[in-house]
Amino acid sequence: MKTRGTISGTIGAALLRGCRPLAMLALAGLCASCRHTQPAAAAPSGFPPGSQIECDLQVVSLPEALATPLAESLRDPQRVEGAFNELQKHIAAKRAILVGWPILTTKNGDRAVAQQDDELRFRKEGTPPSGFETEKAGVSLMISPEIADDGEHAYIGIDARSVRMLEWTKVTSESDFFTIPDVPDQKDVSEWETEHRRYTIDQPRLSKHEVKDTVIFRNGERKLIGVSKVPKPEGHVELFILHVEAR
């Protein structure tokens, strides 16, 4: 307050004397002083009562040479945002692959599920093959958030999966079948006829990366929650990066 009084007095005296340059310089100093005394914007703090929780999961595949230093930075709370921004540049330049990006918003204590997948249908393995099975290839995320009593943290129950279809493979099974001759009273096993059968069916070969855990987050925090080496593309690593924020 003393500084402002001195500057204001200087401005008034300068204006009375008709000294405009001095008045303008003093006014500029006052504006600069005001800028320096304004508080900085506060970072998100805690989870407000009644707020919803948004979780977004990026699943990214990238060469091991890029993934190794990035993973180290993503584990550091001081460097995670810079590393994440660098990862987005790799995706934009097609040096990395965005495999999936499910986003969920739910209430405290509720469960939410997001799926981005394709359904694969194929015959069951058996002798003989009978019926069909299904597998889902893609990215899925299930969360169960619970805000801690202190309101500053949230426990996020996570079930995150990335399932990739690699190729179709042929599976062969063989068996011997016994048939009884067409004689009504024939009960002698030695007379049974044997037939050898062979079956070949197509089944998918899948790559699965799954994270099941409960992780503590602050509001607005981003964490690396999973790292896995994948068979295709060769030499690639898959990262699971989760961001949690109150809405």
Domain membership of residue 18 as a residue range: 2-37
- Is residue 27 located within the same domain as residue 97? no
DSSP E strands, the chain: 52-63, 97-100, 103-107, 112-123, 132-147, 153-179, 193-218, 222-230, 236-246
Alpha-carbon gap, residue 129 to 173, rounded angstroms: 9
pLDDT for 184 equals: 53
As for how many domains the chain has, the answer is: 2
Peptide bond preceding 128: is omega within 30 degrees of 0, i.e. cis?
A: yes
Q: Is residue 44 in a domain?
A: no
Residue 165: strand pairing partners: 206
Alpha-carbon gap, residue 106 to 83, rounded angstroms: 27
- Is residue 124 located within the same domain as residue 238? yes
Q: Is residue 154 in a domain?
A: yes
With beta carbons less than 8 A apart as the criterion, state whether 225 and 210 touch. Answer: no
Residue 49: Cβ-neighbour burial (10 angstroms; 0-12, 13-18, 19+): exposed
- Is residue 188 located within the same domain as residue 214? yes
pLDDT for 43 equals: 52
pLDDT for 165 equals: 84
pLDDT for 153 equals: 94
pLDDT for 33 equals: 43
- Is residue 124 located within the same domain as residue 21? no
Q: Is residue 47 in a domain?
A: no
Long-range CB contacts (< 8 A, 24+ apart) of 172-181? 172/198, 172/199, 172/200, 173/125, 173/126, 173/127, 173/129, 173/198, 173/199, 173/201, 174/127, 174/198, 174/199, 175/127, 175/128
- Is residue 136 located within the same domain as residue 24? no
Peptide bond preceding 48: is omega within 30 degrees of 0, i.e. cis?
A: no
Alpha-carbon gap, residue 26 to 40, rounded angstroms: 25
Coil, helix or strand for 42? coil
pLDDT for 93 equals: 97
Say what angle helices 64-74 and 80-92 make with each other, to 10 degrees.
150
With beta carbons less than 8 A apart as the criterion, state whether 206 and 166 touch. Answer: yes
With beta carbons less than 8 A apart as the criterion, state whether 246 and 51 touch. Answer: yes
Q: What is the pTM of this model?
A: 0.71
Per-residue pLDDT 10s for the chain (247 aa) are 444 443 344 434 443 344 444 444 343 443 444 444 444 344 567 999 889 999 999 999 999 999 999 999 999 999 999 999 999 999 999 999 999 999 999 999 999 999 888 887 776 766 566 677 788 889 999 999 999 999 999 999 999 999 988 888 887 776 666 555 555 554 554 555 566 667 777 878 888 999 999 999 999 999 999 999 999 889 999 999 999 999 9
- Is residue 140 located within the same domain as residue 222? yes
- Is residue 102 located within the same domain as residue 192? yes
- Is residue 27 located within the same domain as residue 116? no
pLDDT for 194 equals: 62
- Is residue 14 located within the same domain as residue 86? no
Question: For the chain, how many helices (H) and strands (E)?
Answer: 4, 9
